[in-house]
Amino acid sequence: MLVKPPLRRLLANLEGLDQMIETARQSQRFDFYTPNMSLPHLVRLPGGRPPPLPRLAIPDDSRSRARALVAPFASRFRIGVVWAGSVTYRANNRRSTGPESFLELASAPWVQLISLYKGLAHEAFLKSGMAGLIVDACGDDRDFADSAALIDEMDLMITTDTAVVHVAASLGKPVWNLLSREGYWLYGKGETTPWYPSMRLFRQAAQGDWPELFGRVEAALHTRLEARKT
């Protein structure tokens, strides 16, 4: 399996994996090559059902780091948030919003938003007013193992459709995935997806209408918090 360095520690314990490499050299011989996303079609999953979630590796040092970061908020309902993906993805502007979209969520009682964003807009976030409401937890993380450890400390993840969504759902954590109007084919058309049992999908009613979507998210969060009181 060809794995980029930021994923190597997280995928270290995948079942059935014989070798993990960063690049394929001409000296190496393979009978077949396929992108990961083509595997469901090629292996013809029994009954069309997705496989069980993978076993991801979260190193002890990553867990210790995460627990130290969230310790001051132990009494709060911790929500991990991400508002933008990689700028190298050509449709990133369609799936991304800004940290200010989470303003109403940040003001909910006994809630603490914790940012898992790491990217080129990180410095702009730190200089924005939202940095006073959303804790920066991933600005200096090393890889996705560190991110996964933080995700595992959250009560809920609310994030636009980025790599963090897939890590959170693969860990079985509750995650609300905020999608553009058309969304990604993997998720289908409903509010759930068989690929990730712990994921709830929120889709834009009209392309680019983040305020309407966040209004529904805020209402859903209020319902969830009220249910915790009973």
Residue 94, pLDDT score: 83
Kindly report the CATH number assigned to the domain that includes residue 161.
3.40.50.2000
- The answer to whether position 48 is within a domain reads no
Residue 147, pLDDT score: 96
- The answer to whether position 1 is within a domain reads no
Q: Are the C-beta atoms of residues 10 and 57 closer than 8 Å to each other?
A: yes
Q: How many domains does the chain have?
A: 1
- The answer to whether position 93 is within a domain reads yes
The domain of 82 spans 62-229
Q: Is 0.85 topped by the overall pTM?
A: yes
- The answer to whether position 24 is within a domain reads no
Q: What are the per-10-residue average pLDDT scores of the chain (230 residues)?
A: 93 89 82 86 80 90 96 96 84 86 92 91 87 89 94 97 94 96 82 94 94 97 88
- The answer to whether position 55 is within a domain reads no
- The answer to whether position 100 is within a domain reads yes
- The answer to whether position 30 is within a domain reads no
Residue 13, pLDDT score: 87
- The answer to whether position 20 is within a domain reads no
Residue 27, pLDDT score: 78
